[in-house]
Amino acid sequence: MNVTILVGSQWGDEGKGKIVDILSDRYDIVARYQGGANAGHTVIIGDKKFILHLIPSGILRENIICVIGNGVVIDPKALLDEIKILEDSGINIKGRLLISQNAHLIMPYHKILDSISESGSSKIGTTGRGIGPCYIDKFARKGIKIVDLLDKNILEEKIKCNLEEKNNILSKIYNHDELNVQEIIDEYLEFDKSIDQYIIDVPSYLNQAISDEKSILLEGAQGTMLDIDHGTYPFVTSSHPTSGGACTGTGIPPTKITSIIGIVKAYTTRVGLGPFPTELLGNEGEKLREEGAEYGATTGRPRRCGWFDAYLLNYSRQINGIERAAITKLDVLSYLDEIKICVGYEINGKKIKTFPSDLNQMFKAKPIYEAVPGWKEDISQAKYFDDLPNAAQDYLSFISQKSGFEISMISVGPRRDQTIEL
């Protein structure tokens, strides 16, 4: 039995797409368990670049079945656009994509409410994909699910009921135009024609697959520090990117999980607002952004960049149960004379003993750094660990030891062949 969770260990964009693509070769099924089209997972194959938002990154290998679990929130338009892009590139989707009947639908009002909320004083720097408002409706037990697409009457009834409330909120609180009920019903009935064929009962399917000794890779979106409970709340997303979310988001019981791999960028980035203790501001941050091409795969926004934070990684390892890590983007650090690693935080001049659990502490946290020499040579062609310069090997040993995980894979470039396995 092999059911592996692949989790983003920092603030997202760790290079999950690339590693899922590499690993999916060894699995029968790849499943997404949370998030939505806020994700942007990049896979580069030859001279082609694919950015997956909703469809698991395993779709680029033809024998893999891809599953979208109940924990995901689905914007049908984004999904159909993505299917079209893949099909236009010659990738066969039919019979390979399965969608949970219990996944919730992103509705037009979710995107409007997301953007209204972002224009107010409680701005988070969201991706504007309607993610938060959709999960709000899910937890308020008002959401519309994929299964509702299958029954015209139920769909109409639910859209009417939701719009009664949403139109009140839009017009009376936000002075926004009301939405037309019939237009939305027609639009979603139209989506149903294309989406119907993919809908299944995901927990039954995946548990049967496990009984049949099929192997499953569970692809997390976002990252640990964006988790609604364990991240830097409120500067988080509205789901559980952490490994625990993989079970609730697919219906696979925890007893069936066999391993947990953390995807760990060799430095740190974050998009949007919120605390970031090791952030590099000014020229140093800009240089790292340029070297790492750190611009959002979904929104194109410049990512904030900073040093590797082993203290944060220790927390992430603990919350997720990470045993092995895939280190990505090591090549990006090749320009540095010296590399800093955060090994702890100080608050008001005092070293703290446990990772800050509240936002104010996190904002006050000052990193305690250790420094190691850089290697100053191109490592993007390295095929084996021994090909790496000593200083790069030492950096890896240092971060692995300080973060408490073993390294099983090292990525030295965006392409498939720029990967070292240990």
Asked if 289 touches ligand GDP (CB under 6 A), the answer is no
Binding mask 28-47 for ligand GDP (x = CB under 6 A): ------------xxx-x---
Closer by beta carbon to Mg ion, 57 or else 102: 57
Q: Which of residues 400-419 bind ligand GDP (CB under 6 A)?
A: 411-414
Q: Which of residues 274-303 bind ligand IMO (CB under 6 A)?
A: 297
Closer by beta carbon to ligand GDP, 60 or else 199: 60
Asked if 69 touches ligand IMO (CB under 6 A), the answer is no
The entry of ligand IMO, Mg ion, ligand GDP, none that residue 15 binds, CB within 5 to 8 Å by partner kind: ligand GDP
Closer by beta carbon to Mg ion, 40 or else 356: 40
Of 276, 266, 267, 295, the residue nearest 40 (C-alpha) = 295
Binding mask 186-225 for ligand IMO (x = CB under 6 A): -----------------------------------xxx--
Residue number of the CB closest to ligand IMO reads 272
Closer by beta carbon to ligand IMO, 127 or else 316: 127
- Rounded to a whole number of angstroms, the minimum distance from the CB of residue 260 to ligand GDP is 16
Q: Which of residues 298-357 bind ligand GDP (CB under 6 A)?
A: 328-329, 331-332
Asked if 12 touches ligand IMO (CB under 6 A), the answer is yes
* Residue 337 annotated as catalytic: no
Closer by beta carbon to ligand IMO, 234 or else 253: 234
Asked if 8 touches ligand IMO (CB under 6 A), the answer is yes
The entry of ligand GDP, Mg ion, ligand IMO, none that residue 251 binds, CB within 5 to 8 Å by partner kind: none
* Residue 186 annotated as catalytic: no
The entry of ligand GDP, Mg ion, ligand IMO, none that residue 222 binds, CB within 5 to 8 Å by partner kind: ligand IMO
Give the binding site for ligand IMO (CB under 6 A).
Answer: 8, 11-13, 38-41, 124-127, 129, 131-132, 221-223, 226, 237-238, 271-272, 297
